[in-house]
């Protein structure tokens, strides 16, 4: 049986700027079962996930921490994830 929509690709919204983009074009940040927040390069880690787009404005430490806090419900230090997210998009 042929696929109904073979050209469709999953869409996700950025946790910081709320822009919608293809899932593969974004970086996934995950809050694991233990409460630790980290970047998920595979996109398959267990836990609650949020996506961040590749826009440099979304990688600013304060905006990134606020977006992750809002999306994942956990407090993150302002500079804790900005370097990891920037390296994952490069």
Domain coordinates in residue numbering, the chain: 11-89
At which residue do the structure tokens 């700027």 appear?
A: 17
CB 82 within 8 A of CB 64: yes
CB 27 within 8 A of CB 89: yes
Please state the pTM of the whole predicted model: 0.88
CB 59 within 8 A of CB 85: yes
CA 43 to chain centre: 9
Domain 11-89 has CATH 3.30.1230.10: yes
User: pLDDT tens across 17-75, in order?
Assistant: 999 999 999 999 999 999 999 999 999 999 999 999 999 999 999 999 999 999 999 99
Q: Both tokens of residue 65?
A: 């921490």
Task: Return the ∠ at Cα 73 (arms to 85 and 84), rounded to 5°.
Answer: 10
């Amino acid at each position: 049986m042929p696929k109904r929509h073979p050209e469709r690709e999953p869409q996700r919204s950025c946790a910081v700027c709320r822009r919608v983009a293809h899932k593969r074009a974004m970086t996934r940040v995950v809050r694991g079962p233990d409460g630790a927040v980290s970047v998920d390069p595979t996109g398959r880690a267990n836990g609650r996930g949020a996506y961040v787009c590749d826009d440099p404005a979304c990688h600013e430490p304060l905006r990134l921490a606020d977006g992750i806090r809002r999306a994942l419900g956990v407090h993150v230090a302002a500079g804790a994830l900005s370097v990891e997210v920037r390296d994952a998009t490069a």
